[in-house]
Amino acid sequence: MNYGLGVAGDARADVHAMAPWLQEEFWDELERLAANPSLLPSPSASGDILYKFQRISANVKHTITMTISRNDGVKKVIVLGIKYRQHRRRG
Partner 1 sequence: MSGVPLTTFLPEFGNPNDAAQRWVAAALAHARALAAYDDRLYPRDPAQQISAQHLHDAWRGWVEDAETVLRQAEALTSTDDEMPGLEALQDEIGFRQAMLDMPPALIAHRREQVERGEVFSVEEVRRELRAGSRG
- With the CA atoms of 30, 36, 40 and 41 taken in that order, what torsion angle do they form, in degrees rounded to the nearest 10? 170
83, 12 Cβ separation under 8 angstroms: no
Which of 5, 29, 40, 55 binds partner 1 (CB under 8 A)? It is 5
Select 1 or 47, whichever has its Cβ closest to partner 1. Answer: 47
Residues 31, 37, 41, 45, Cα dihedral to 10°? 120
**CA angle at residue 70 from 67 to 11, to 5 degrees?**
40
Amino acid at 34: A
Footprint of partner 1 on residues 52-91 (CB under 8 A)? 52, 54, 61, 63-65, 67, 69, 78, 80-81, 83-87, 89-91
Q: Least CB distance from residue 37 to partner 1, whole Å?
A: 15
Name the residues that contact partner 1, by CB under 8 A: 5-12, 15-16, 20, 23, 27, 30-31, 41, 44, 46-50, 52, 54, 61, 63-65, 67, 69, 78, 80-81, 83-87, 89-91
